[in-house]
Amino acid sequence: MRGRMAGQERRIDDTMLIREAQRGNRAAFEELVRHYDQAVLRLALHLTGTEQDAQDVYQDAFLKAYKNIGNFRFECSFYTWIYRIVTNLCLDHLRKRNVRKEDAPVAKDPSGGEYDLLDQVPDVRAGANPERDLMRRQLGARISGALEKLTPRERMVFELKHYHGLKLRTVGEILQTTEETAKNTLFRATQKLRGALADMR
């Protein structure tokens, strides 16, 4: 009950902020950004794999939102709207990376070593159990390798559902498709992942 009331409060709060931002109030827009930006960064970080790219997606997404907020007509929630902008930018990023990957089959970091997503992310739990930590790193590397093989859209649906816990109905709205299509895409993505990671179990 309290959760629902808090949700409603946030909605009212956001509506006021959106209206203010539409009138050109930059402070209101910045406040709105603060309501969503940590989730946006987390999504972009996991999808792009580097802080630099995640920051670029963040910057482009909110600038685009700022420039276009006048066109926001409350036909969907602001949450869906902002996620739509972010996922479109991430999809562009994934597509571009897929093209680049055809030139260089293995992604390399600047020093020439093979690229490992988990090396980019500091693990605060490290130290407690080095062996388990190593296992987790290896698992993470295998999983991100398998994720790379999905199509950008499959990857996006899986990402939003699995790592960010969104409802498939919302995923469909964000990607401007039906819930049914999102379900089918999730099915295909997990089938592929299970195939790629079959030896891990």
Partner 1 sequence: MKCEWVRENIVLQVYGELADDARHELEQHVARCADCAAELKAEQEFHALLAQDRAADATPNLVAASRMRLQEALETAKQGSFFSRLAFDPANWLRQVKFSPALASAILIFGFAGGIVTTYKFIPHSTTGIVQGPATVPVQTSIAGIDSISQDPNTNQISIKYKAVSEEQKQGSLNDQDIQQLLLYAAHNNYNSGVRVDSVDLLAKRSGDLQVREALMYALQNDTNPGVRLKSLDALGNYVKDDTNVRDAVLRALVNDDNSGVRIEALRLIEPVKADGSVRGVLMALAAKDQSTYIKSQARTMLAQLPEID
Q: How far is the CB of 54 from partner 1 (least distance, A)?
A: 7
Q: Is 161 in the site for partner 1 (CB under 8 A)?
A: yes
Taking CB under 8 A as the rule, which mask of x and - marks residues 20-59 in contact with partner 1?
----x-x--xx--xx--xx--xxx-xx----x--xx--xx
Q: Is 72 left (phi over 0), alpha (psi -120 to 50) or beta?
A: beta
Question: Which of 127, 125, 129, 158 shows the shortest CA–CA distance to 143?
Answer: 158
- What is the distance between the alpha carbons of residues 41 and 44, in angstroms, rounded to a whole number? 5
- What is the distance between the alpha carbons of residues 176 and 51, in angstroms, rounded to a whole number? 27
Q: Is 193 in the site for partner 1 (CB under 8 A)?
A: yes
Taking CB under 8 A as the rule, which mask of x and - marks residues 87-116 in contact with partner 1?
------------------------------
Q: Is 143 in the site for partner 1 (CB under 8 A)?
A: yes
Q: Is 78 in the site for partner 1 (CB under 8 A)?
A: no
Please list, in sequence order, all residues whose beta carbon lies within 8 angstroms of the beta carbon of residue 186, skipping any fewer than 6 positions away. Answer: 157, 158, 161, 168
The conformation of residue 177, written as its DSSP 8-state character, comes to S
Neighbours of 67 (CB within 10 A): 9
Site residues for partner 1 per CB under 8 A:
24, 26, 29-30, 33-34, 37-38, 41-43, 45-46, 51, 54-55, 58-59, 62-63, 66-71, 121-123, 136, 139-140, 143, 159, 161-164, 167-168, 183, 186-187, 190, 193-194, 197, 200-201
